[in-house]
Amino acid sequence: MRAIVRKVRRGRVCLNRREYWPLGESLPENTEIEIRYVDPARVIGILPDGSMRELVPVSFVSPGDRQKVIEMIRQYREIWARSIEEYLRAMKEVMRILQKRREVDNDGQREVAAN
């Protein structure tokens, strides 16, 4: 696998005159990522924090090709649904941590008030 460094522009990475975008969550804008090129249909991006994302070629579809447009819309909806699920999971964890912190803070205030 060859390694190449590319910068993210508009959530996409350009490689060999083709644009690639990630499955699932988006890439941070203007971030330099290392690209591991397997073949034109399979590219892996490694972010500075070490996390890996699979990148797929951006499909350009003619509006006249109704079947392909419907398929692309379905794919985008699936990607958005996964992104929303991931965001909600992360926010649930954040809320759990904040709740624990509030409980600890409230316990500390109760001890001070009792003395």
**pLDDT tens string 23-38:** 666 777 888 888 887 7
The phi-psi region of residue 38 (left if phi > 0; otherwise alpha if psi is between -120 and 50; otherwise beta) is: alpha
**pLDDT above 70: residue 20:** yes
Calculate the dihedral angle through the C-alpha atoms of 59, 62, 66, 67, rounding to the nearest 10 degrees: -30
Q: Is residue 32 located within the same domain as residue 76?
A: no
Q: Is residue 115 located within the same domain as residue 66?
A: yes
Q: Is residue 10 located within the same domain as residue 40?
A: yes
Q: Is residue 48 located within the same domain as residue 79?
A: no
% of the chain beyond a pLDDT of 70: 89
- Give yes or no for a contact between 20 and 55, defined as CB atoms under 8 angstroms apart: yes
**pLDDT above 60: residue 99:** yes
Q: Is residue 25 located within the same domain as residue 78?
A: no
Residue 95: predicted pLDDT: 93
Which of 7-16, 58-67, 72-81 bottoms out in mean pLDDT, i.e. has the lowest? 58-67
Which one of 21, 37, 58 terminates a domain?
Answer: 58
Quote the domain boundaries for residue 52. 1-58
Q: What is the 3-state secondary structure (H, E, C) of 46-97?
A: ECCCCCEEEEEECCCCCCCCHHHHHHHHHHHHHHHHHHHHHHHHHHHHHHHH
How far is Cα 29 from Cα 59, in angstroms, rounded to an integer? 20
Q: Is residue 25 located within the same domain as residue 65?
A: no
Q: Is residue 52 located within the same domain as residue 72?
A: no
Which one of 58, 73, 104 terminates a domain?
Answer: 58
Q: Is residue 29 located within the same domain as residue 72?
A: no
